[in-house]
Amino acid sequence: MTRMRFEQRMYAQMLFYRKLYELEENAFETFFHGMMQAATSDYTPIRAYGNIGDRGADAMALCGGKLYACFGPRVPNVERLRRKFAKDLKSALEQRPGEFGTFVFVHNDRIGLHPDLATTLRSAQKAHPDLIFETMDPVGLWRIFRKLDLDDIEELLGCEIPVSDAVYGIGVDDLKPLLDHVNEHRRRDNETGPPPMPSQEKLEFSKLDEDNQEALILGMKHSPLVRQYYDMRYFPLEEANTAQGFRDEYLEAKAEASDPDLILERLKWYIIGNRLANERQLRAMWVVLAYFFERCHIFENPPPDWVSSDREREPAR
């Protein structure tokens, strides 16, 4: 089995999310089936048949006792999401009694689980205490996808994931198109003063996955280039305005999604836009993210009483 290297994972991650958000209805379900069949031999897609349909299940994990219901709407709509969940659950309970112990609702909403659907899940759990209810969102899908064999990943994405040297240079010219794109969205009416300096434990406190933390650390090696970029600009408030736009985007994402990796994914789109970035542009994107992460415009410092896991492991003196 061939696993992706770190640089390949960063490139594949951008392609994966872009593809995931473009898939709708049956196309999303087909992609999910392909991913899960590559991930485990226990996964069995179920097709609709005649007038009996699929009997409330898009797929099942036979040994694990899991039933999967997929939903990839063209336009996110929480009411339609709730109706779909209720309909699939009702159908599965009526037509597949005793066949599953876990009901998994799979969706590709880039914002994450809507608060109203979370309430619906809690209500379902109370009504059916003998069942376990789970959701699988884009972040959860990526955590499965990233572990697949490279050949399966390339087949599902429909393109080659190139292998290149892990270390290559980044210059100010690489940052310019990305920062210019962000500058277009800057906001000038909400400046609240400089944020606090980052603490050493901020990365751990962020609860980002290991890949995202590693990418930020690599980006920090080049983040002084962003400072150099702004030093060469003529407009003295450009950095402050851009930073405030970043902060506003972060706060909006945080209000809509609780998963830090989903929040970071939205910030990536804020930088990249709709362009399909190459590996060099992706590295430049991480430099920009690292710069604003270091200056605490995105993500938060831990509170004073927070204890990192490293300090918890230190022996008592």
pLDDT tens digit at each of 317 positions of the chain: 778 877 788 888 888 888 888 887 788 888 998 999 898 888 887 654 434 444 445 666 656 688 888 887 766 667 777 788 888 888 888 887 888 888 888 888 766 666 677 788 888 889 999 988 888 888 889 989 999 999 999 999 998 887 665 444 555 566 677 677 666 655 444 444 455 555 678 888 888 888 888 888 888 888 888 888 888 776 767 788 788 888 888 888 888 777 888 888 888 888 876 555 667 777 788 888 888 888 878 888 888 888 877 654 444 44
DSSP-assigned letters across all residues of 130-193: TSEEEEE-HHHHHHHHTTS-HHHHHHHHTS------S-----HHHHHHHHHHHHTT---S----
pLDDT of residue 29: 86
Residue 292's identity, in one-letter code, is F
Residue 219's identity, in one-letter code, is G
| CA atoms 245, 179, 198, 196: torsion sign | negative
For the chain, which domains are there?
A: 6-157 (3.40.91), 172-294 (no CATH)
pLDDT of residue 313: 45
Sheet with 132-136: list strands edge to edge: 43-45, 59-61, 66-71, 102-107, 132-136
pLDDT of residue 120: 82
Q: Euclidean distance between the first and final Cα of the chain, in Å? A: 46
Query: Residue 90 in contact with residue 122, Cβ under 8 Å?
Result: no
In degrees to the nearest 10, what's the CA dihedral of 211, 168, 286, 223? 120
How far is 69 from 91, CA to CA, in rounded Å? 11
CB burial of 287-303 (b: ≥16 within 10 Å; e: otherwise) equals: bbbbbbbbbbbbbebee
Closest to 162 in 3D by CA, of 2, 1, 4: 4
What token pair was written down for 194?
């400089």
What token pair was written down for 69?
């219901």
Half-sphere exposure of 15 (CA within 13 A, CB side): 20
What token pair was written down for 45?
């897609």
CB burial of 233-252 (b: ≥16 within 10 Å; e: otherwise) equals: eeeeeebbbbbbbbbbbbee
Indicate the SS3 state at residue 93. Answer: helix
Angle of CA points 179, 182, 183, to nearest 5°: 85
